[in-house]
Amino acid sequence: MPELPEVEALKDFLTDHLVGHEIVRMLPVAISVLKTYDPPLSAVEGHEVVAVHRYGKFLDVETDGGPHLVTHLARAGWLQWKDRLPDGPPRPGKGPLALRVALETGAGFDLTEAGTQKRLAVYVVPDPQQVPGVARLGPDPLADDFDEARFTALLQGERRRLKGALRDQSLIAGVGNAYSDEILHAAKMSPFKLAASLTPEETRRLYEALRTTLTEAVERSRGLAAGRLKAEKKSGLRVHGRTGEPCPVCGDTIREVSFSDSSLQYCPTCQTGGKPLADRRLSRLLK
Ligand SMILES: [Zn+2]
């Protein structure tokens, strides 16, 4: 799933490739991805792209005088750029293609979604704040004004464990399952530590891990073509998705805790005092 760093890189990529160009055709293939119906998808056609924005994990293509095209790629969605789109309309029901956006130059991009769980979402709205998921977003952790005092204030009264709190888009925008594992590993904290139990020193450590982890991931991704971002994300992760591999910091074996629809990875030596987290008992606690 693309998270803040990858969506930030996609924003840069699309800014370079879309701004100044006219969207001439919107070709929906999987109608279910469209979450709004008024204005229609076609209302974007004939408008020039003036800017591309990121809100959390949402991408917003702003047009001159037309509506915004907002998308959330979700777990298995992706954006594929094409310098030359194929001739002829795409066929529905074949493969992962959900939506094709064509420019006046013949270039454009496809939004695709792999797998059977369909969560990719597209919104056509006069104002991006009309997208419920955008309106609910908490502060962006890379914003200039997201300082340690702001982070400390956010955690005050937070009753959840760190793993759940960091992933909550209404608390902090843009961090998902992968980067929350990475941030907690960098901060040397258990994913099940209670947010309310952090000392001021620990809060500072977690804040620094959050900013550093995301900033480094953005730097690695910046300037990469859309097609290379997934591989870059994977290669940059130290613990997430690396169950059974050695921790790059201490060499201990990275372990995981599984849930019904996801899993987390951590290093026992770095994060939990050497003790493996019990899978079943603690997975209940996270709910
Ligand atoms: Zn370690």
Residue 237 belongs to domain with CATH number: 1.10.8.50
Alpha-carbon distance values, 242 to 1, 83, 124, 208, 237 (Å): 16, 34, 38, 23, 8
Question: Are residues 156 and 111 located together in one domain of the fold?
Answer: no
d(CA 135, CA 115): 28
Mean pLDDT of the 97-104 span: 96
Residue 165 in any domain: the answer is yes
The pLDDT, as a whole number, for residue 286 is 56
Greater pLDDT, 271 or 1: 271
- Tokens in use for 65? 């005088």
In the reported structure, the alpha carbon of residue 246 is separated from the centroid of ligand 1 by a whole-number distance in angstroms of: 8
Question: Are residues 154 and 110 both part of a single domain?
Answer: no
Asked whether residue 92 falls in the same domain as residue 214, the answer is no
pLDDT at 101: 97
CB-CB neighbours of 35 under 10 Å = 17
For residue 96, give the DSSP letter. Answer: T
- Average pLDDT of the residues in 251-265: 92
- Tens of pLDDT along 3-22? 999 999 999 999 999 999 99
Helical axes 200-221 vs 4-18, angle rounded to 10°: 40
Q: Model-level pTM?
A: 0.92
Q: Is 141 part of a structural domain of the chain? A: no
Please tell me the chain's helix, strand, coil percentages from 3-state DSSP, rounded to the nearest 5. 35, 20, 45
**Average confidence (pLDDT) over 122-142:** 98
Q: What is the mean pLDDT of residues 218-246?
A: 89
Q: How confident is the model at residue 284 (pLDDT cuts 50, 70, 90)?
A: low
Cα of 251 from ligand 1 centre, angstroms: 6
Residues with CB under 5 A from ligand 1 (ion): 247, 249-250, 252, 267, 269-270
> What whole-number distance in Å separates Cα of residue 100 and Cα of residue 92?
11
Q: For residue 135, how far is its CA from the centre of ligand 1 (angstroms)?
A: 37
Q: Is residue 140 part of a domain?
A: no
Q: How many angstroms separate the alpha carbon of residue 213 from the centre of ligand 1?
A: 16
Q: What's the gap in Å between 271 CA and the centre of ligand 1?
A: 7
190 and 102 both lie in a single domain: no
Centre of ligand 1 to C-alpha 188, Å, is 8
Rounded distance from Cα 186 to ligand 1 centre (Å):
9
Q: Is the peptide bond before 39 cis (omega within 30 degrees of 0)?
A: yes
206: three-class secondary structure by DSSP: helix
The domain containing residue 86 runs over which residues?
Answer: 4-135
Q: How far is the CA of 232 from the centre of ligand 1 (A)?
A: 22
CA of 170 to the centre of ligand 1 (A): 30
Cα of 268 to ligand 1 centre, how many Å? 7
CA of 192 to the centre of ligand 1 (A): 17
One domain for residues 107 and 203: no
**Residues 220-258, buried b or exposed e (16+ Cβ, 10 A)?**
bbeebebeebeebbeebbbbbbbbeeebeeeeeebbbbe
Domain end position, chosen among 135, 162, 185: 135
Instruction: Choose one of 135, 163, 197: the last residue of a domain.
Output: 135
CA of 254 to the centre of ligand 1 (A): 7
What does the alpha-carbon distance between residue 89 and residue 75 come to, in Å, rounded to a whole number? 26
Asked if residue 120 is part of any domain, the answer here is yes
Domain boundary among 135, 168, 200: 135
Q: Please check whether residue 211 lies inside any domain of the structure.
A: yes
Query: Do 159 and 275 share a structural domain?
Result: yes
Specify whether 157 is located in the same domain as 275.
yes
The Å distance, Cα 238 to ligand 1 centre, comes to 10
3-state secondary structure of 69: strand
- Is 80 exceeded by the pLDDT of residue 272? yes
In a domain, 142, yes or no: no
Tell me: do 121 and 232 sit in the same domain: no
> How much of the chain, in percent, has pLDDT values that exceed 70?
97
Q: How much distance in Å is there from the Cα of 250 to the middle of ligand 1?
A: 4
Q: Which pair of tokens denotes residue 101? A: 């956006």
Q: 45: which residues sit within 8 A by CB, 6+ positions away?
A: 23, 24, 25, 26, 66
How many Å lie between the centroid of ligand 1 and the Cα of residue 233?
20
Is residue 285 over pLDDT 60? no
Mark whether 121 and 174 lie in a shared domain: no
